Structure 1
Amino acid sequence: MGPINRSEILIALAGNPNSGKSTLFNAITGARQHVGNYPGITVEKKEGFYDFNGRSLRLVDLPGTYSLTAYSLEERVARELLANERPAAVINVVDASNLERNLYLTVQILEMGIPVIVALNMVDVAKGRGIEIDAQLLAERLGFPVVPTVARRGEGKTELMEKVLAFADENQRREPLRLYYGPDIDPVLDDMEREIAASGFLTEVYPPRWTALKYLEADEQILDAGNAADPEVSRRLLEKAHRVTEHIKATLDSYPEAIIADHRYGFITALLKGGVVRKSPRADRLYLSDQIDKVLTNRFFGPLVMVLILYAVYQFTFRYSEIPVNLLEKVFSALGDWCLATLPEGPLRSLLVSGIIDGVGGVLGFVPLIVFMFFAIAFLEDTGYLARCAYMLDRIFRIFGLHGNSFMAYIISGGIAGGCAVPGVMATRTLRSSRERLATLLTVPFMNCGAKLPVFALLIASFFSEHRAQMMFLLTILSWSMALFLAKLIRVTLLKGPSTPFLLELPPYRLPTFKGLLIHTWERTWQYIQKAGSVILAISILLWALMTYPGLPEERREAFQAERLAVVEALPSPYREAAASGEPPDAGAPPAVRAAWERLRALDAGESRDALMYSFAGRMGRSLEALTRWCGFDWRTNVALVGGFAAKEVIISTLGTAYSLGETDSEESLSLSRRLQKDPQWNPLVALTAMVFIMLYSPCFVTVTCIVKESGTWKWGLFSMVFSTTIAFILAVLLYQIGRALGFGA
C-alpha cells in the first residue's frame, strides 16, 4: 500500500443525537476543523483533521441520526456519505447509558458492510447510573473494536485513534452483517438479493441485500434511484415487496419495516445478554436529570423558570459585552478621525469614512455582543436545557402550525431583545418538516433583533420618555404576536399540511467543557462575521453612492456659495478669515459674529439636505411619499427606511444624514432626538407607526440572503421581502389612520 495522504483516509463519525458525537469530534480535531453546508442542501457539514503517529486522518462529523432510513435530510446525508464515499472506517459514538437504542444505528451501518469502531461514550454517566458494560466481550460479539470513552474529558481518545489507524491501514472490505428476519421475510429477501446481484442493480453503491431491505422498507430515495437505474428490475422488486407486504398485513397485521426493526432489536437484545451489560439495583432509580426536570419542566413552574433563565442570559449578554462593544466603537471612531485628518476632502475620504468605516464598523461593533450571546446559548444548549424549553413550548407553537424547535430560532433572532435574525434563520436547520421550517424562517425576522433596538430606543426617548419600559414590553409582545399569527396564516395558505409530531429525547444534564463552549461560540461568531461583514461592506458602499450622487446641480451649489460669501463679507474683517475656514468664533465674539456663524451652519445643513434630495436615494424617497404619506412618513424617513432594507443598523445614521445632522454617534443621538421632536412631521403617533413598520417590514439583505441559502431558492427570499413589507405597510396605515381619526396625531 502506497503513502496515504489526507484525501485517502476518510473517517466518519456517526451517532445518535446527544450521544456526545460532536464533543468527541471537537476533542479529536480541536481547532483544526471547518464548518459549511453539504452541496445543494442546508444540513451542516463539519470536517476536521487529526495527525497521529505521523499519519493524517480527515474526519467528517455526520449529522446526528437514530437510523439510516432516509426520513429526514440528516439521515439522507449520513447514509449517502457512507454509501458513496465509503470511509475507511466509521467511529460510531454510542451512549453507554442508552446502549440498546444506540446500537440500532450500529447494526444498520454494519449491514452496509462498512468497518465500525464503537466509541462507547459517557461510560462515567452509565457507571453513575449503576450500569457496567464489558467492552471487550461486546467487541468479541460484534467482531469490531469497542473503546470506552468520556468525550468531554478526552478520555479514551488515544486508544480510539490507534484502532482507527489500524483499520485504515488494513483497508479490507468487510462483509455486510446478515440478520435473520423471520420466515415471512427471509425467503423473499434472499430471492430479491439474488436478482439484484445477478443484474448488478445499484451494486456499485449499495450491497445487494441492503438494497432488498430498502425495497421491503419502501425507502423512497432508494426506490427513486432504482427506477432511474433500471425500471424493469425495480418493477419486479416492487412486485415482490408488495406481495410480502400484503401477506404480513393479512397474517400479522403489521408491515415489513416493523418486522425488520423488531428483529434488529432482537439481535441487539441477544448481543447484550450474558454479562455484556450488568445493572445494579440503583440503575432503575430516578436519575438526577429526572429529578431536576420535575421542577424545570413542571407545567406551572417550568415556564416561569424558563423566562427567568432567558432573562438572565440577556442580562449576561448585554452587561458583559458593554465594555468590548464600547471599545470597538472607539476603535472605529478613531479610525474614522484618522482618515478625516489624513486624507484630503473628496469622494475617497467620504467613501472610506461614511461608506466603509461607518457601515462595516456599525455591524462589526455587534461582534462582542454576538460572542457573549452565543456563548450563553451554547452553555444552555450543551447542558441540555434548551431541549426542555422546546419541549415546554411545543403545545403553544403547534396551535400556530409551528414546532417546538421553532422556539430557539425565535429566541436567537431577538425573542427577548438583542439577537440577530441571521443565526435565527440558520437555527431552523433543526426542524425536519420543510413546511414548519419555512414557516419559521419566514417569521423569525419579526423578532426585535439588536439592529432594531437602537432605532426603538431613539424614538421611545423622543416621544415616550415617560414610559420607556412599557413601550419596549409592548413592542416585544407585538413582535411575538405578529410572528405567531403570520406563521399560522402561512401554514393555512401557502404551506398547508399536518404538523409533524414532536419527538424529542431529553438528554441528561451535563456540565459543558470550556473548550467545547469556545469552539461552538467561535463557529457561530465566525459565520456571523463572514455572512454579515462581507455583505454589509458592499451595501454600505452602495448606500453611500446612492446618497452622494449625482449631487447638487451646479447652479444650486453656486447659489449656496454666494450666500456664504455674502455672510462672510458682512462680518468685521478680523472674523472673516476664520469664518471662511469654518473655524467657530470664540466665547467673546460679538453677537452678530455668532449669528453669522449660525447662519453659515444653517447654509451647510441646507446644502446637505438639498444634496440628499437631489441624490438617487433622495429622489427615491420623494417618489415614495405618495404612498407612505398614508403612514405619516415624509421623504427623509423614506430614505432611512430604504437604507433599512440593506441593514437596520443604518436607519439611525441615514436619519441623521437626512436631517442634516452629520454624524449620529451616541453622543449626538439626543440632538437627533430633539430634532425629531421639533419637526412638525413627527409626533408620538408617527413614531409608534414607524416602530411598528420597522419591526415588521422586509428583513435586512443579509437575512434575506440567508433565507435564500437555507431554503435553496430565491423565491422564498423575495417572498419574505414582499410579504413582510406588505404586512408592515397595511398595519402601519391602519395604525396611523385610526390614530388620526381618534385625535392622536396632533
Structure 2
Amino acid sequence: MNDRNDILVALAGQQNAGKSTLFNVLTGARQHVANYPGVTVDKKYGQYSDAEGVVRTVDLPGTYSLTSFSLEERVAREFLLQERPDVTVNVVDASNLRRALHLTLQILEMELPVVLALNMMDVAEGRGLRIDQEALAERLGLPVVRTVGRKGEGREPLRAAIRALARSGERQPARVSVDYGPLDPDIQVLTSAIAAAPELAGIPSRWLALKLLDDDTQAAQLTAERLDATHTETLLQEAAHRRATFEQEYGLDVSDHLVSCRERTVGRLLDGVLVGREGNRPTLTERIDCVILNRAAAPVFLVLTVFLIYQIAIVWGYELTTYTWPFLARARELIAGLLPAAGFLVDPYTRDIGLWLVDSANTLLNYVPIFLILFALIAMLEDSGYMARIAFILDKVLHRFGLHGQSTLPLILGGVFAGGCAVPGVMATKGIPDHRARMATILTVPFMNCLAKVPLYTLLLGIFFVEDKSLMMFYISTMTIIFALLVSKLLTKTVLRGHETSPFVMELPTYHLPTVSGVLRRAFERTWVYVKKVGTIVVAVAVVVFTLLQFPGISDERLADYEQRGRAAVTAFQQAMAGNAYREVATAANITSLLNVYNDYKRAKLNAKGADASSAVDAHFARLNPDFLPLISPPRGDKDARQASRALRDMDSARKTLRREMKEERITNSLLGMIGRGMEPVTQFAGFDWKINVALLSSFAARESSVATLGVLFQQDADQNATLEARMGAETRAAGATALLGTSIILFFALYPPCLATTVMVKVQTGSYKWMIFSIVFPTLLGLGVASAVYSIGLATGTSGIEMMSWTYFSALALLLTLGLFGGRDGRARHPVLESPADGGLRA
C-alpha cells in the first residue's frame, strides 16, 4: 500500500450533532480514546481502510464555534490549524441547520477541504423540513452528504466523498465567502501584512486577520511565537487601532459584527434551500419539554431520574457483584496457587505482596458491573437529550457555589444518598464543560457519603449515640452536601480562582431514542479506560501502602516468641494424634502443607454454590491430596479421621490467632503505625489516639479498612465473644472518651481525603499529580481543623457530642443559605440556548 494514499480526516461539529455517533459508524471498533497533550479533553481517534489506503480519523471535541472562549474550542481549533487534516468532515444537525452553518463558515475561513455531513436527516424530515442538498452543495462549493449516524445510513457515500476530496488535493478557499461590510477594508490590510511575513506561512492569512481584529488572545500568542517582538507589536497595534476605530465609528463590538455578518450569509445560503414545515404546530420535543421543564414538574422528573440512575447503577449494579466476585475470587486462588506456599506463621514476601496487589486490583475490578451499567445509563441520558436538561434545571442554583448543572450526577453517584461511590462520581465529571466548575466538582465529590463510610458511622453510632441514632443519621446524610457546596465556594474563590471558566451555553437538543450499539459501545469503551488507566496507577500506589504497613516488621525477639508458641501448638496437635491411624499423614514435615490445604478446602467449599459444586470440590481435593482429605473432610463412621480433624481445627485456630496477633503488632510497629503515634501531639486536639490515627490512615487504601483495622487494634480476649462496639466502647470509655469523641471522628471522616482508588481517579481526570496531592492534603487539614475545633470547644464548655453536632450542622447550614442568597454568582455568564424551531432561529 502506498503511504501517499493514507490520509488524515478530522470530524468537527457542534455538540449534539451526532458527530461521535458518525465517527463510530466510520471507524467501527478500530478506535482509541486518550487525552490531548496537556489537557483533559478527550481525544478520540480511529481508522478504516478503503480501496486506496488507510483513513486515520480524529473526532474533535464538540464546539459551537472556533473562538478561544472554552478549552474544547481551543483544542479543536489548534488541531485544525496545526495538523491541517487532508479532509475536515463538518457534521451538522440538519434539523438545526441555520445555527450549524456558523461553524461551517469558520472552518472554511481556515482554508481547509471540507465535506459537509447533513446528519440527523431523519429528525429534520420528521419535523417537516426539506433541504435541497444539491443547491446547498452548489452554493457552498463543497460536497454535501446525507447521513443518519444512529442508523448507520450514509457511511459509504461519506467515505467516497472523503476520498474524492482528498484525491483532488484542493485546499483553496471555498466558493462561499462572508461579506463583513465596513470591516472588509481593515481585514484586507491585515491580511496583506500577514501574507507578507514569511514566518506566518502556513497560517491562513484572512483567518488570522479576523482573529486579531476580534482581539483573540490565542491568535495574538500564535503571532508572537512566529514573529519577533517588533513585528508582533506592530501587527497587534495595527489590529487594535483598526478595531477601536471601527467600534467607535459604528458603535458596535467587532465580535457582534462578525456574528451578525455570518448570520446574514447563512440566511442567503439557506434561502430557497431550506423549507420549513407549514403551520406552527409544536414539535414532539417542544411538547415533551412543556412537561419536563415545567417549573413544578421539572424537580420531580429530575429527582426521579437521578434516583433511578442511583438505584439501577449503584444498588442493583452492586448486586451483580455477587455473580462476578466468584470469578475474581477464583482468579485470586489461581494466582495464589502459582505463588510460593504460605508459611506456618510468616509467608514469603513474594506471596504477601503478590496477594496484596491482586486484592487491590480485585477491589477495583469488582466495580466493573457498576461502571458498565452506569456508563450505559449516562450514554442513554446523553443520547436522549435529557442530560442537557438536568444541567439546565440545576445550574442556576449550583453555579452560585462554583459548580455546574452537570455536577449533579457526579455528586449523586458519589453518595448524596448514603451508599454511593466517589470513583464513578469523579469519572462522571468528564462531561462538565466549564473547567473551573469541573475541578470544583472533582475535589468535592469525595465529601459525599460513599457506601464504604457507612460501617464506621454505624460503629460510632452504636457506641456513642444509641439514643440519638436517628437524629445523627439525619445530620450525617445531609451535612455532606452542605460541606461540599461550602468547600466548592471556598475553592473557586481561592485556589481555583485563576482557572479557566467559560460562558455557560446550554443547548437543549431534540429528543432521540438511543441506539443499543451506541450505548453499549460507549459503556464498554469508558469502562475499559477505567480499568486500563486506574489499574496501572493503583498497583504502583498499592506497593507503597504495603511497604508502609509491613516495615520495619516484628523484632527478632518477638518473632522468636511467636515461633515458640507456634511450636507449642504443633506439639499439642501431635500429642492429640498419638495412637491415631492418620498420625503418619500429619508428620512435622507435612503440617504447614496440611494446614494450607485445609484452608484452601474451606474457602472452596464456602464459594461452592449448590450440591454439584460442593461435590466437585471434594473430587478435586481427592485427586490433588488424597492423603489429606480424610483429615479435612472426615468420612462418616471414621472416628480416627474425626479426631484428627478436630485436632487439625484446633491447631488451625491457634495458628490464625498467632498470625492475627503478629499482624496487629506489625501494624502497630509499622511505618504507618509510627506515623500514627507521631501524629498524636497534633490529633490529640481532636481527641484521636494512635489507634484511631492508624485506623484512619489505613482507610486511605479503602474506607472499609477503618473498621477492620479497629477490629484488629481492639482485640478481644480468647474467652470473650464481644462485638467490636462493646470492645471499643469499653476501652474508649475507660480512657475517658465521651460522645464528643464520636462527633469529632464523624466530622473528620466526613471531610476525610478520598480513598486510594478515588485519588487515582482524581489524577486520571485532572492529569496532574499536584491536584492528586491537593485532594489528599486539603481535606486532611480541613477535617482535622473542624474536628479539633468542635472537640476542643465542646471539651472546654462541657457541651455534649450531640449538642456540638447540632451546633456545627446548623452553623454550616446558616452559612450556606447566606452565601446562596447574598453571596452572588461566580461570575460565569449563563446563556441557555433552547432547541431551534423549524425556521432555524434561536429562542432563549
**TM-score normalised by structure 1 residue count:** 0.88
Could you list the per-position Cα deviations for residues 88-121 of structure 1 after superposition, in whole angstroms to 9, with x for gaps in the alignment?
A: 1111111111101100110111111111111101
The answer for the alignment partner of 1:136 in structure 2 is: 134
Once the two structures are superposed, the pairs formed by residues 689-704 of structure 1 within 5 Å of their partners are: 689-704=744-759
Cα drift, residue 467 of structure 1: 8.8
Residue identity over aligned pairs, in percent, reads: 39
3-state secondary structure, aligned to 1:504: strand
In 2: Cα distance, 1:744 partner to 1:588 partner: 54
- Indicate how the Cα distance of structure 1 residues 31 and 106 shifts in structure 2: closer, same or farther if over 3 A, else same: same
3-state secondary structure, aligned to 1:185: helix
Once the two structures are superposed, the pairs formed by residues 279-298 of structure 1 within 5 Å of their partners are: 279-282=276-279, 284-298=280-294
The answer for the alignment partner of 1:219 in structure 2 is: 216
3-state secondary structure, aligned to 2:287: helix
Q: Name the structure, 1 or 2, with higher relative contact order (CA <8 Å, separation 6+).
A: 2
CA RMSD of aligned residues (A): 3.7
The answer for the alignment partner of 1:89 in structure 2 is: 87
In 1: Cα distance, 2:418 partner to 2:767 partner: 28
Q: 1:21 aligns with which of 14, 19, 22?
A: 19
Does the CA-based 8 Å contact 1:111-1:178 persist in structure 2?
Answer: no
With 231-240 and 74-83 compared, the bigger mean Cα shift is at: 231-240
Does the CA-based 8 Å contact 1:12-1:59 persist in structure 2?
Answer: yes
In 1: Cα distance, 2:182 partner to 2:505 partner: 31
Cα drift, residue 133 of structure 1: 0.7
Cα drift, residue 482 of structure 1: 0.6
Cα drift, residue 432 of structure 1: 4.8
In 2: Cα distance, 1:103 partner to 1:697 partner: 49
Cα drift, residue 612 of structure 1: 2.5
3-state secondary structure, aligned to 1:120: strand
In 2: Cα distance, 1:538 partner to 1:649 partner: 21
* Unmatched runs of 5 consecutive residues or more in structure 2: 599-631, 633-639, 804-844
The answer for the alignment partner of 2:72 in structure 1 is: 74
- Indicate how the Cα distance of structure 1 residues 671 and 9 shifts in structure 2: closer, same or farther if over 3 A, else same: farther
With 14-23 and 551-560 compared, the bigger mean Cα shift is at: 551-560
Does the CA-based 8 Å contact 1:423-1:528 persist in structure 2?
Answer: no
The answer for the alignment partner of 2:3 in structure 1 is: 4
3-state secondary structure, aligned to 1:645: coil
With 291-300 and 70-79 compared, the bigger mean Cα shift is at: 291-300
Cα drift, residue 607 of structure 1: 3.6
In 1: Cα distance, 2:425 partner to 2:7 partner: 35
- Indicate how the Cα distance of structure 1 residues 670 and 332 shifts in structure 2: closer, same or farther if over 3 A, else same: farther
- Indicate how the Cα distance of structure 1 residues 76 and 341 shifts in structure 2: closer, same or farther if over 3 A, else same: closer
Does the CA-based 8 Å contact 1:132-1:278 persist in structure 2?
Answer: yes
Residue type at the aligned position of 1:4? D
Does the CA-based 8 Å contact 1:181-1:259 persist in structure 2?
Answer: no
Could you list the per-position Cα deviations for residues 365-415 of structure 1 after superposition, in whole angstroms to 9, with x for gaps in the alignment?
A: 111112212222222222111211111111211221333233344234344
The answer for the alignment partner of 2:696 in structure 1 is: 641
Does the CA-based 8 Å contact 1:568-1:579 persist in structure 2?
Answer: no
Once the two structures are superposed, the pairs formed by residues 345-744 of structure 1 within 5 Å of their partners are: 345=343, 346-348=347-349, 350-351=351-352, 354-453=355-454, 456=457, 474-496=475-497, 501-562=503-564, 573-574=575-576, 605-648=660-703, 650-658=705-713, 676=728, 679-680=731-732, 686=741, 689-708=744-763, 710-711=765-766, 713-737=768-792, 741-744=798-801
3-state secondary structure, aligned to 2:543: helix
Does the CA-based 8 Å contact 1:403-1:499 persist in structure 2?
Answer: no
- Indicate how the Cα distance of structure 1 residues 403 and 703 shifts in structure 2: closer, same or farther if over 3 A, else same: same
In 2: Cα distance, 1:395 partner to 1:478 partner: 21
In 1: Cα distance, 2:24 partner to 2:437 partner: 31
Residue type at the aligned position of 1:386? M
Could you list the per-position Cα deviations for residues 450-493 of structure 1 after superposition, in whole angstroms to 9, with x for gaps in the alignment?
A: 55456556666777799988766543422211110111122333
The answer for the alignment partner of 1:105 in structure 2 is: 103
- Indicate how the Cα distance of structure 1 residues 588 and 465 shifts in structure 2: closer, same or farther if over 3 A, else same: farther
Q: 1:42 aligns with which of 17, 40, 44?
A: 40
- Indicate how the Cα distance of structure 1 residues 595 and 66 shifts in structure 2: closer, same or farther if over 3 A, else same: closer
**TM-score normalised by structure 2 residue count:** 0.78
In 2: Cα distance, 1:440 partner to 1:424 partner: 9
The answer for the alignment partner of 2:54 in structure 1 is: 56
Could you list the per-position Cα deviations for residues 613-632 of structure 1 after superposition, in whole angstroms to 9, with x for gaps in the alignment?
A: 22222222222233334434
Could you list the per-position Cα deviations for residues 564-607 of structure 1 after superposition, in whole angstroms to 9, with x for gaps in the alignment?
A: 66688789943789999679999999x99999998876555434
2:383 counterpart of 1:328: no
3-state secondary structure, aligned to 1:39: coil
In 2: Cα distance, 1:732 partner to 1:563 partner: 43
Number of paired residues?
Answer: 733
2:156 counterpart of 1:158: yes
- Indicate how the Cα distance of structure 1 residues 70 and 686 shifts in structure 2: closer, same or farther if over 3 A, else same: same
- Indicate how the Cα distance of structure 1 residues 456 and 153 shifts in structure 2: closer, same or farther if over 3 A, else same: farther
The answer for the alignment partner of 1:666 in structure 2 is: none
In 2: Cα distance, 1:232 partner to 1:481 partner: 54
Does the CA-based 8 Å contact 1:536-1:647 persist in structure 2?
Answer: no
Does the CA-based 8 Å contact 2:459-2:725 persist in structure 1?
Answer: yes
Does the CA-based 8 Å contact 1:36-1:46 persist in structure 2?
Answer: yes
The answer for the alignment partner of 2:234 in structure 1 is: 236
Residue type at the aligned position of 2:192? R
Residue type at the aligned position of 1:648? R
With 427-436 and 47-56 compared, the bigger mean Cα shift is at: 427-436
In 1: Cα distance, 2:252 partner to 2:684 partner: 65
- Indicate how the Cα distance of structure 1 residues 55 and 602 shifts in structure 2: closer, same or farther if over 3 A, else same: closer
- Indicate how the Cα distance of structure 1 residues 358 and 473 shifts in structure 2: closer, same or farther if over 3 A, else same: farther
- Indicate how the Cα distance of structure 1 residues 519 and 570 shifts in structure 2: closer, same or farther if over 3 A, else same: closer
With 726-735 and 232-241 compared, the bigger mean Cα shift is at: 232-241
- Indicate how the Cα distance of structure 1 residues 530 and 688 shifts in structure 2: closer, same or farther if over 3 A, else same: farther
The answer for the alignment partner of 1:120 in structure 2 is: 118
Could you list the per-position Cα deviations for residues 67-88 of structure 1 after superposition, in whole angstroms to 9, with x for gaps in the alignment?
A: 1112211111111111111111
With 495-504 and 547-556 compared, the bigger mean Cα shift is at: 495-504
Residue type at the aligned position of 1:31? A
3-state secondary structure, aligned to 1:405: helix
Cα drift, residue 337 of structure 1: 4.8
Does the CA-based 8 Å contact 1:188-1:240 persist in structure 2?
Answer: no
Cα drift, residue 290 of structure 1: 2.0
Residue type at the aligned position of 2:3? I
3-state secondary structure, aligned to 1:65: coil
In 2: Cα distance, 1:82 partner to 1:670 partner: 68
Cα drift, residue 19 of structure 1: 0.7
Does the CA-based 8 Å contact 1:20-1:121 persist in structure 2?
Answer: yes
- Indicate how the Cα distance of structure 1 residues 335 and 438 shifts in structure 2: closer, same or farther if over 3 A, else same: closer
2:307 counterpart of 1:308: no
With 388-397 and 573-582 compared, the bigger mean Cα shift is at: 573-582
* Unmatched runs of 5 consecutive residues or more in structure 1: 662-668
Residue type at the aligned position of 1:298? N
In 2: Cα distance, 1:22 partner to 1:570 partner: 70
With 598-607 and 220-229 compared, the bigger mean Cα shift is at: 598-607
3-state secondary structure, aligned to 1:503: strand
Residue type at the aligned position of 1:481? I
3-state secondary structure, aligned to 1:395: helix
The answer for the alignment partner of 2:268 in structure 1 is: 270
Residue type at the aligned position of 2:185? P
3-state secondary structure, aligned to 2:85: coil
Residue type at the aligned position of 1:208? S
- Indicate how the Cα distance of structure 1 residues 600 and 165 shifts in structure 2: closer, same or farther if over 3 A, else same: closer
3-state secondary structure, aligned to 2:118: strand
With 145-154 and 570-579 compared, the bigger mean Cα shift is at: 570-579
With 101-110 and 305-314 compared, the bigger mean Cα shift is at: 305-314
- Indicate how the Cα distance of structure 1 residues 567 and 108 shifts in structure 2: closer, same or farther if over 3 A, else same: closer
- Indicate how the Cα distance of structure 1 residues 600 and 195 shifts in structure 2: closer, same or farther if over 3 A, else same: closer
